[in-house]
Amino acid sequence: MNSQPPTTTTDTGIPVSSDEYSLTVGAGGPNLLQDTYLIEKIAHFSRERVPDRVYHVKGSGAFGYFEVTADVTQWTKAAFLNKIGKRTPILARISTVAGEEGYPDTDRDVRGFALKFYTEEGNYDMVGNNTPVFFVRDPMKFPDFIHSQERMPDNGLRDNNMQWDFWTLSPESAHQVTVLMSDRGTPRTLRHLNGYSSDTYMWQNAGGEKFWVKYHFKTEQGIQNMTDAEARAMKAEDLDYHRRDLWEAIGRQDYPAWRLEMQIMPYEDAADYRFNPFDITKVWPHKDYPAIPIGRMVFNRNPENFFAQVVQAGFEVSNMVPGIGPSPDRMVLGRMFAYGDSQRYRTGPNYGQLPVNRPLGEVHNYNKDGPMRFHHHGNQPVYAPNSYGGPKADAQRYRDPSWFVESAEIMRTAYQAHRDDNDFIQPGMLYRDVMTPTDREHLAGNIAWHLKQGVEHFIQERAINDYWARVDPDLGARVAREIGLTAASR
């Protein structure tokens, strides 16, 4: 350890004479405006925060690497995936959705699963969740959904009534709510959960062939959850239980790892697949599209500065490298705007220059100036076209990923339903065919407990009759029994 600590300075590096005392007129006199070190210190303190994310506020971060374990060049030309054994540095942020910074980690919630791959062709962000589906399928309903999970406008309290009102009036949420109300809604740690793209993306190989894909990051630690009672008890014991667990595991070199498995659908299958494959409230059943292992991800380094590297980390759905593109999934298309917009709002238009957000390679474009701009290429042209050697787009090598759209009128309408599309089929399959008797019992109990917390009678009835009984009659009956609804009132 350095025996002589450095001298304290102002933000401009000027040595200061005291860490303890403000400048005053005599020992008992007033403070002086000319104490610019004190003023700088207090003014900086008032500005320590940037606006929170509107949702996914509380997250934990880790650095690590992704390694390719199978040849995927038949499906994508993405350079970071082009060789078995190739490693790409990554940043991960796993978050709760509805609570603020400081909210209990073990609250029942979906967990965000955001990854940034620092590739040789720019940053690739995969911004998913720990569930394979989502609550809504159209971005028009997204702000309404988030509002329903957050706080009431008058008293500032979270409100189960608002949550169940929204869910039961939005039948497409049934699949995700089934997963949320199962014990997967209360993961034991951030190491014991899976990550899913949930959304559908496009992969394109060097020959131009296109595929629709879904990402599944399977925890090598195994899925482990808390029961509802354990999760509620942990709220009182340690609000930061998940963040602490991840930090400590990495600190003791017990590095958590995930296997990346891909579901890959040939481009042509989408038109006639039995479910609309771009509807994020549905999974692609494994027997139709088996999950193919292609890589491994390891978290092996804790952040050195939480604010700089986790709070200010910006993940953008639109950050896709050549060989990876969006799909007609409306949620992907809506999210491609939302995430960059959120970062521009939170940290300004130059957030991409922050070390954690900066790509490995150089950035060349004609964006100029703005708050906190600190990177420049010297005397280069600031407009295109130009005669002075400025960067030039390469239309030969790079094309925007695309798909055909039937000639149709511009309209606001529901997704095109495919023959098996029904909001209750897949959650019903999960309940009947996948869950164990214990899972089913916990699911019914968790739903009942949640429904008993301040939910109005008519919404409880709707939740039983129009929602859970349609997922599965046995589940509807169990929940009704547990919340004490009589047969007559049903």
Enumerate binding residues for ligand NDP (CB under 6 A): 132, 179, 182, 184, 194, 216, 218, 223, 283-286, 426, 429-430, 434-435, 439
Q: Which residues are catalytic?
A: 56, 129
Smaller CB distance to ligand NDP: residue 290 or 484? 290
Query: Which 8-state DSSP code applies to residue 96?
Result: E
Is 301 exposed, middle or buried, given 0-12, 13-18 or 19+ CB atoms closer than 10 A? Answer: middle
Query: What is the Cα–Cα distance from 141 to 228, expressed in whole angstroms?
Result: 28
Q: Compute CA distances 136 → 263, 284, 285, 307, whole Å.
A: 21, 17, 19, 31
Residue corresponding to tokens 């350079």: 79
Compute, in degrees rounded to 10, the torsion defined by CA atoms 13, 18, 20, 25.
-120
Smaller CB distance to ligand NDP: residue 283 or 447? 283
Query: What is the Cα–Cα distance from 327 to 401, expressed in whole angstroms?
Result: 9
Query: What is the Cα–Cα distance from 404 to 333, expressed in whole angstroms?
Result: 15
Q: What angle do CA 359, 364, 366 make, to 5 degrees?
A: 125
Q: Cβ–Cβ contacts within 10 Å for residue 49, how many?
A: 9
Nearest approach, Cβ of residue 225 and ligand NDP (Å):
8
Give 106's contacts (C-beta < 8 A, 6+ positions apart). 186, 226, 230, 231, 232, 234, 235, 241, 242
Nearest approach, Cβ of residue 442 and ligand NDP (Å):
9
Smaller CB distance to ligand NDP: residue 58 or 188? 188
Smaller CB distance to ligand NDP: residue 115 or 354? 115
Task: State the DSSP string of 211-254.
Answer: EEEEEEEEETT---B--HHHHHHHHHH-TTHHHHHHHHHHHTT-
Nearest approach, Cβ of residue 171 and ligand NDP (Å):
15
Nearest approach, Cβ of residue 340 and ligand NDP (Å):
28
Smaller CB distance to ligand NDP: residue 233 or 434? 434
Helix (H) or strand (E) holding 261: strand 257-266
Smaller CB distance to ligand NDP: residue 351 or 468? 468
Nearest approach, Cβ of residue 440 and ligand NDP (Å):
9
Nearest approach, Cβ of residue 82 and ligand NDP (Å):
26
Q: Cβ–Cβ contacts within 10 Å for residue 409, how many?
A: 5
